[in-house]
Amino acid sequence: MNACSDMPGNMARKTGSHSEITGPRIRAAALHLFARHGYAAVSMRQIAAEVGVQAGALYLYTPDKQTLLFDLMRGHLEDLLQAWAAEPKGEGPLARLEAFARFHIRFHLDRPDAVFIAYMELRNLEPENFASIEALRKAYEDELETILRDGAASGLMRVPDTKLATLALIAMLTGVGTWYREGGRLSRDRVERIYWNMVRRAVGA
């Protein structure tokens, strides 16, 4: 049970003197198992087994199980915000709304496990971790709300309540992950287009 006759390479100019192979593998295994069975239902021993190490080895990479979950969620939401910031958005509220809808679907279809966890495991976060994650999520929602508010202000959209519309649209778009399966009846592009049409019409544009 070596799993690592392949070298750890030269490491550790940084303080985090841990393997750059095992660390990511632990995160991947935890992501997969948490998404499939839920945080509380997955034991550290199960995660370790999926990676091919003993349970004790996990603690070289994470101080405890709770932090492992928190890091996964924070990593996902930071990726989300960063990817959206880097997304080309076009000009005007309508173009931006389309960019948002398509981006959201694409991003979420690429990471079904992380999306599932970020939504389902909020209740398993300790209070301060929860607050930290909620702030990130709020920042993302604000991106959409700003678009809707601009759209309403300029008369291009009809949304009686931007906050409500924001949450309704995000719920709808995120829901795609609950049923979409790769290689299914509909292509990603077709899904993107159909959803975008529903979003556009829902805001009266």
Q: Which residue has the tokens 């948002």?
A: 100
C-alpha span between 28 and 36 (Å, rounded): 12
Q: Is position 109 an interface residue for a copy of itself (rule: CB under 8 A)? A: no
Which among 16-24, 77-85, 128-136, 153-161 is the span making contact with DNA, rule CB under 7 A?
Answer: 16-24
Which among 71-79, 131-139, 144-152, 175-183 is the span making contact with a copy of itself, rule CB under 8 A?
Answer: 175-183
Across 122-147, b (16+ Cβ under 10 Å) vs e yields eebbeeebeeebeebbeebeebbbeb
Full DSSP string of 113-128: HHHHHHHHSGGGS-HH
Q: Is position 8 an interface residue for DNA (rule: CB under 7 A)? A: yes
Q: Is position 55 an interface residue for DNA (rule: CB under 7 A)? A: yes
C-alpha span between 115 and 105 (Å, rounded): 11
Q: Which is nearer to a copy of itself, 61 or 102 (CB)?
A: 102
Q: Is position 120 an interface residue for a copy of itself (rule: CB under 8 A)? A: yes
Q: Which is nearer to DNA, 13 or 185 (CB)?
A: 13
Contact positions with DNA (CB under 7 A) in 26-45: 42-45
Q: Is position 46 an interface residue for DNA (rule: CB under 7 A)? A: yes
Q: Which is nearer to a copy of itself, 179 or 183 (CB)?
A: 179
46 binds, among a copy of itself, DNA, none (CB under 5 to 8 A by kind): DNA
164 binds, among DNA, a copy of itself, none (CB under 5 to 8 A by kind): a copy of itself
C-alpha span between 158 and 148 (Å, rounded): 9
Spatial CB neighbours of 108, under 8 Å, sequence gap ≥ 6:
115, 173, 174, 176, 177
Per-residue binding letters, 28-47, with a copy of itself (x by CB under 8 A): --------xxxxxx------
- The dihedrals phi and psi of 57, each to the nearest 5 degrees, come to -65, -25
C-alpha span between 13 and 5 (Å, rounded): 22
Q: Is position 171 an interface residue for a copy of itself (rule: CB under 8 A)? A: yes
**Binding residue count for a copy of itself, defined by CB under 8 A:** 35
- Compute the C-alpha angle 110/129/79, nearest 5°: 25
For binding to a copy of itself (CB under 8 A), which residues are involved? 36-41, 120, 123-124, 160-161, 164-165, 167-172, 174-176, 178-179, 186, 191, 194-195, 197-199, 201-204
